[in-house]
Amino acid sequence: MPEVPLLELENLHIIRRRPRGAEETLVPNLSLRLERGQSLGLVGESGSGKSLTALAAMNLLPEPELRIQSGAVRFQGQDLRTLSPRAMNELRGSRMAIIVQDALAALNPVRRVRVQMEEVFRFHQRPEGRKEKDARIQLCLQRAGLPDTATILRAYPHELSGGMRQRLLLAMALLLEPDLLIADEPTTALDVTLQARWVREVQALQREQRLGLLFISHDLALVAELCERIAVIYKGQLIELAATPQLMENPKHPYTKAMLAALPRMGYTPQLLAPRQQEKPGKQGCPYAAHCPDVLPICSETQAALSGSAEHAVACHAVKKD
């Protein structure tokens, strides 16, 4: 029997409520799945719906402005939208954890780091003794690249650098050994060396704990280093989903190709994305039509469905189906 996915988004439809009751679709019918121990990268430009998808997966959208209108979010087969707030709070932090981009906002500014880390155990009523808790805190700080644990534990968040705060969030996310880690642009505040260390640590955790990772970033090169599969989204729509080697070596969607061409490489001048003046697509048309060099007449009329194989699927009228 096939294993139940660790995380499954099925036809997830996220909307924003506008003033006077109007509604705007931000993520239309997004479907993704992540197996235990696997890593999936979600890439796309700012405003493409990556962070909204992460919040929706944790059932954390700030309602009523933003909400899931339809679709399902399942964690190990359980529909999170049907859980009580109490049951959802118990899952969050213990079995599924999220690291957000703004580490300062995620931490309590008036509590020392030690108090905030111990609160995680208290909140989830973990009965470990002081010795076990301390050992776990030390281990997680070290794994997150914060070896001077005594200084870190005494500090308030504002006394730490942006990079240290970001690593602290990773340490806190790991405290209760979650099955799923959602990391939303977690390495933005880190320099290249620490970024590499972050990637190595998370890869090691994945192997040791069969941790499922949903890694969200606009940095395609970093995602390719860390993730086994990559999902590309554009304006909230999944336009290409492939195993990392396939996507990096043989991108099919024009937007993915443009993203790869814009990656800086030694001795090569990146091609910046240049918008083409063109008629706007109709509501049903391809969201990338205004910028696409391969646009066809059908592109402004209907949107291509995601099709292909489990290894490589793409939503584009110009891509020949095998």
**Residue from 296, 301, 306, 308 in contact with ligand SF4 (CB under 6 A):** 296
Signed CA dihedral, 198, 204, 207, 210: sign only: negative
Looking at the chain, list the stretches that DSSP marks H as alpha helix, in order from N- to C-terminal side. Answer: 50-57, 85-91, 103-106, 113-123, 130-143, 149-154, 162-174, 192-209, 220-226, 244-249, 254-261
Least Å distance between CB 303 and ligand SF4?
A: 7
* 28 is a contact residue toward ligand SF4 (CB under 6 A): no
* 301 is a contact residue toward ligand SF4 (CB under 6 A): no
Distance CA(302)–CA(295), nearest Å, equals 12
**Residue from 6, 304, 312, 313 in contact with ligand SF4 (CB under 6 A):** 304
Contacting range for ligand SF4; rule: CB under 6 A; set: 23-31, 34-42, 267-275, 293-301 = 293-301
Least Å distance between CB 289 and ligand SF4?
A: 4
Locus of tokens 């969050």: 92
Could you please report the per-residue DSSP string of 223-238? HHHH-SEEEEEETTEE
* 294 is a contact residue toward ligand SF4 (CB under 6 A): yes
* 312 is a contact residue toward ligand SF4 (CB under 6 A): no
Q: Which two tokens stand for residue 253?
A: 């969607």
Signed CA dihedral, 260, 263, 266, 271: sign only: positive
Per this entry, what is the length of the chain?
322
* 254 is a contact residue toward ligand SF4 (CB under 6 A): yes
Judge whether 110 and 49 are in contact, CB under 8 Å. no
Least Å distance between CB 235 and ligand SF4?
A: 11
**Residue from 4, 194, 306, 318 in contact with ligand SF4 (CB under 6 A):** 318
Binding-site size for ligand SF4 (CB under 6 A) equals 14
**Residue from 120, 289, 312, 313 in contact with ligand SF4 (CB under 6 A):** 289
C-beta closer to ligand SF4: residue 56 or 299:
299
User: Please, which of residues 186-245 interact with ligand SF4 by CB under 6 A?
Assistant: none
Kindly give the pairing relationship between strand 180-184 and strand 23-34: unpaired
- Radius of gyration of the CA atoms of the chain, in A: 21
Contacting range for ligand SF4; rule: CB under 6 A; set: 85-93, 171-179, 181-189, 312-320 = 312-320
Least Å distance between CB 280 and ligand SF4?
A: 12
Site string for ligand SF4, 167-186 (x = CB under 6 A): --------------------
Closest of 38, 59, 72 to residue 215, by C-alpha: 38
Where does this chain bind ligand SF4 (CB under 6 A)? 253-254, 286, 288-289, 292, 294-296, 299, 304, 316-318
